[in-house]
Structure 1
Amino acid sequence: MPKAEEPDFDYQNHSYADYLKWDLDEMVELIKGRIFKMSPGPNRLHQKVSGHLFNAFFNYLKNKPCETYAAPFDVRLPRHSKKNEAIYTVVQPDICVICDPLKLDDAGCVGAPDLIVEILSPGNNRKELVNKYEVYEESGVKEYWVIHPIEQTVLIYSLINGKFHPSRLFTAGDVVKSAVIEGYQLDLDAFFKNIA
């Protein structure tokens, strides 16, 4: 993977404690202490994919120990300490699944979710595929799905011995299975048929 890009403005080395004080007109994420502007409001296709996939996870996980959340939902990824002033990465994945209730608090999630889904939109591909890839791998996210809604593809990165390993590119006709959520399957033909 190439190295993460620099943000397009000059705020660096900020913590979650700083993030909580800001009164900004736009949403941002912190990645390794650097501020990244979030893309403008997601387009209709992005939102439709997100809503349908959230519902699929939510319905599957009813009465199971894991819970699913959709953006906006702060996921804090601490390195050495869970204190607000020591957390330098706060992201808002499109969808995340958390199986350890101790990671949940009133502010969101502190620690790596078990599964994260990011849906590509014009303008966010590098952030999702490089910057977030790095912090998700480093923080121990077990499974990272990247969905391209226009091309109707899914790529899954699975964490093995601390490193992400990519699946093949799943396309129409494939049934995607999660290694993290036992028994969960997503039929891409049926899923994307409802998204058009």
Structure 2
Amino acid sequence: MTEPAFRTMTEEEYLRWDGPREGKWEFVDGFVYAQAGASRPHNQIASNIQRVLLPATADGRCWSYTSDQKVCVYRDGCSRYYLPDLVVVCDSNLAGDVETTPCLIVEILSASTRAVDESFKASDYRRLDSLQGYLLVDSEARSVEFHRRVGTGTEWQLEVVDTSVDLPCLSVSLSVDDIYRHVGL
């Protein structure tokens, strides 16, 4: 997230608001945050991951979305709307243009997003009952972490991914080599 817009708005205003066309916007605690543009390595990593996810969604039971799919989370009775880099949804509960039941979320880390993705967003995403995994991929060094829900409860297990990770929902394995193919890291 970057700095917030100077004026606050309601959740309803945000959902009706298009915002300037040159940006993407998240909504947190009444503030709208512009999302920083992605670097070339960031985009390459997102494409590489999507290449692995798409064949696993070919039967239409699940969908894999890139960074324009809003995901709604709740904290302290308030809605927050994020735009994860990739979202996998099975048994969708789409409310308008907003997804509320993702089973896998991927965030690609950069200097400007790392702190928020690893803390606030991670905490918020783990509140989603449907979420089975949260993948954090570094765009500046070869480093991958996977947060996996243990059972059906609120316990999460951190996996540092050295070679590959078995992703939930799609029953597909994602290798570190596939993630960083042709990225130069």
- TM-score using structure 1 length: 0.78
The question of whether the paired residues in 2 share the 8 Å contact of 1:31 and 1:135 is answered with: no
Structure 1 stretches lacking a partner, 5+ long: 81-85
Return the match for 1:187 from 172, 175, 180. 175
> Aligned residues: percent identity?
19
Cα displacement (A) at 1:57: 0.2
Cα displacement (A) at 1:155: 0.5
Q: Deviations over 1:14-71 (max 9, x none)?
A: 31x12024353342212344433312x1011100101111121012221151111101
Alpha-carbon distance change, 8 to 78 in structure 1, aligned in 2, over 3 angstroms: closer
> Residue type of the partner of 1:22?
W
**Count of aligned residue pairs for this structure pair:** 179
| TM-align CA RMSD | 2.7
The aligned residue for residue 164 of structure 1 is 156
Residues 10-49 of structure 1 aligned to structure 2 (within 5 Å): 14-15=10-11, 17-25=12-20, 26-39=23-36, 41-49=37-45
> Residue type of the partner of 1:76?
C
SS at match of 1:88: strand
Cα displacement (A) at 1:188: 1.5
Cα displacement (A) at 1:152: 1.6
> Residue type of the partner of 1:35?
V
Alpha-carbon distance change, 192 to 10 in structure 1, aligned in 2, over 3 angstroms: same
- 2:129 maps to 1:137: no
The question of whether the paired residues in 2 share the 8 Å contact of 1:79 and 1:139 is answered with: no
Return the match for 2:165 from 173, 176, 184. 176
Return the match for 1:71 from 49, 67, 73. 67
Q: For 2:178 and 2:66, how far apart are their aligned partners in 1?
A: 21
Q: Deviations over 1:101-128 (max 9, x none)?
A: 3x1355142x130000000122111121
Segment of structure 1 superposing worse, 116-125 or 69-78 = 69-78
Q: For 1:13 and 1:163, how far apart are their aligned partners in 2?
A: 34
> Residue type of the partner of 1:38?
Q
- TM-score using structure 2 length: 0.82
The aligned residue for residue 106 of structure 2 is 117
> Larger helix proportion, structure 1 or 2?
1
Alpha-carbon distance change, 24 to 106 in structure 1, aligned in 2, over 3 angstroms: closer
> Larger strand proportion, structure 1 or 2?
2
